[in-house]
Amino acid sequence: MLKQYSLLPFLLFMVLSTMGQTTLTLQPNGNLGKDAFISSNVPTNGQGNSSEFDAGAWTISGSPLTIRSLIDFDLSSLPVGAVIQSAILTLYNNPNAQNGYANGQHSHVSGSNEAVLQRITSPWTEDVAWNNQPTTTSQNEVTLAQDTDPYQDYVLDVTNLLDDIIANPSNSYGFLLKLKTEAPYRLLAFASSDHPNAALHPKLEITYSIVCNMLTLQPDASSGKDAFISNNVPNDSQGTSSEFDAGAWTISGSPLTIRSLIDFDLSSLPVGAAIQSAVLTLYNNPNAQNGFANGQHSHATGSNSAFLQRITSPWTENVTWNDQPSTTSLNQVVLPENTDPFQDYQLDVKQLIQDIRSNPTEGFGLMLKLETEDPYRILVFASSDNPTISLHPKLDICYTNLLTTNTSILQNNTVYVFPNPSSGSINIELKNLNTNISSNNSFVIVDATGKKVFEDYYFSKSSLFYDISTLQNGIYYWILTTESISNNGKLILTK
């Protein structure tokens, strides 16, 4: 193999792909959920801790009151670029309503208790009261028909409402439930996220798929970078071996240990690409030239389970056992003991590829080695130098290009970049993240051609400041990636 490599002439495909459907279920409790009950008889009182989630109109001592409820689900776990196939909201009747309206039963004694679920278009908190309730829109509102059972649960198709929320993040803050005709004595009585029975909490089930670009990397001998190392020849390089093995064997009774290294060229992934999946396929080499186990995997003396680990220091194809690079077990992938002597392996390496992208100074490909390096155990695969091209290691990456994806899907209230336009400096505030800020983060600025002009990979704070005064005036794009979000936006520089 050559020590340096480029995108061509190795096998590279970029196609549009739709991943399989996934269902995300959100049913938060009182600590994690955000819902509230408001009523006109206590117009300045917040009732965010109520176990009721009602829409109705009633009277107290002859005085009329109107009841509405609000809810906002945390959608941060929905992947960037997700295409919503369906969204189902289930509201469960509360048969033991503490507020006492109709003794937990829905009511339509004076007329229809038909209700509507509308998108909320202005911010609110759980301290919300009747007098400061947020605005709503009737666009794509969902109708709840009059109940047919006094303890009826409702299953609602809110797909269009959720699409609206994703497409309009700057003016979407959940749902409001209210009667169509707010006249006594009509009521729909449901349980809130604060209800003591967790099974009755409002539940949102989102089925989605990811439409992404598929990048396939399967380099050949002239463009790939992989190597085979063994401790029986500790100073010899074997970068042109057709083997990609992990094992332990003997030669004339002397033990040896075998490991392999590979580094895929990821430069064809766009800056800021959000990786949705990454699958590495290692193909068994049935005609192993090195002769270990005659091309078969072996676990004659114990398990041949192996680790695939991120390489954290530089190496070339001249690498030897004595100067092999360092690795980390962080997010390592386990290859289980083989079940067939000529078994191929498909491995989910999404997190490893993300780690390589997020830590460019500590991301130099992958090393394969046995979990227990005792003879006679081995996994026998083909390298990029194998004469059979179809057996070369293959990496399939499905990604969303954030700079070309509809920006209305990506903008949300988790990232604030200001001022914009900027006169030479910017502040970044990260809000509402569900995971801790860590060093596995990146902030990148690219120009209009996609060229990277600024980068920071090691921040671990939620408030950041950057001096970008060295950049020329113009339009740029920023891309921020953390463990829980991936976002981008336009930045205008005017000095």
Tens digit of each residue's pLDDT (9 = 90 or more) over 304-359? 999 999 999 999 999 999 999 999 999 999 999 999 999 999 999 999 998 898 78
Looking at residue 127, its pLDDT comes to 94
Looking at residue 287, its pLDDT comes to 82
Which pTM does this prediction carry? 0.58
Phi-psi region of 99 (alpha: psi -120 to 50; beta: other; left: phi over 0): alpha
122: how many CB neighbours lie within 10 A of its CB?
Answer: 12
- Cα(204)–Cα(196) distance, rounded to whole angstroms? 18
- pLDDT: which is higher, 198 or 420: 198
Tokens of 436: 């801790």
- Rounded mean pLDDT of the chain? 86
**Most confidently predicted of 100-104, 112-116, 464-468:** 112-116
Q: Provide the percentage of residues in the chain whose pLDDT is more than 90.
A: 62
Q: What is the dihedral of CA 263, 267, 269, 275, to 10 degrees?
A: 40
434: how many CB neighbours lie within 10 A of its CB?
Answer: 12
151-169 per-position pLDDT tens digit: 999 999 999 999 998 877 7
- Cα(216)–Cα(264) distance, rounded to whole angstroms? 11
413-460 per-position pLDDT tens digit: 467 888 988 899 998 887 655 445 555 577 888 765 556 788 886 666
Looking at residue 437, its pLDDT comes to 53
3-state secondary structure the chain: CCCCCCCCCCEEEEEEEECCCEEEEECCCCCCCCEEEEECCCCCCCCCCCCEEEEEEEEECCEEEEEEEEECCCCCCCCCCEEEEEEEEEECECCCCCCCHHHHCCEECCCCCCEEEEEECCCCCCCCCHHHCCCEEEEEEEEECCCCCCCCCEEEECHHHHHHHHHCHHHCCCEEEEECCCCCCEEEEEECCCCCCHHHCCEEEEEEEEEEEEEEEECCCCCCCEEEEECCCCCCCCCCCCEEEEEEEEECCEEEEEEEEECCCCCCCCCCCEEEEEEEEECECCCCCCCHHHHCCEECCCCCCEEEEEECCCCCCCCCCCCCCCEEEEEEEEECCCCCCCCCEEEECHHHHHHHHHCHHHCCCEEEEECCCCCCEEEEEECCCCCCHHHCCEEEEEEECCCCCCHHHHCCCCEEEECCCECCEEEEEECCCCCCCCCCCEEEEECCCCCEEEEECCCCCCEEEEECCCCCCEEEEEEEECCCCEEEEEEEECC
- Cα(292)–Cα(370) distance, rounded to whole angstroms? 15
- pLDDT: which is higher, 82 or 468: 468
End-to-end Cα, the chain, rounded Å: 49
Q: Choose among 256, 251, 248: nearest CA to 379.
A: 248
Residues 89 and 201: beta-carbon distance below 8 Å: no
Tokens of 429: 């505030």
Looking at residue 245, its pLDDT comes to 96
260-271 mean pLDDT: 90
128-153 per-position pLDDT tens digit: 999 999 999 999 999 999 999 999 99
Check whether 123 has a pLDDT greater than 70. Answer: yes
- pLDDT: which is higher, 80 or 439: 80
Check whether 291 has a pLDDT greater than 60. Answer: no
Question: What contacts 4, CB < 8 A, 6 or more positions away?
Answer: none
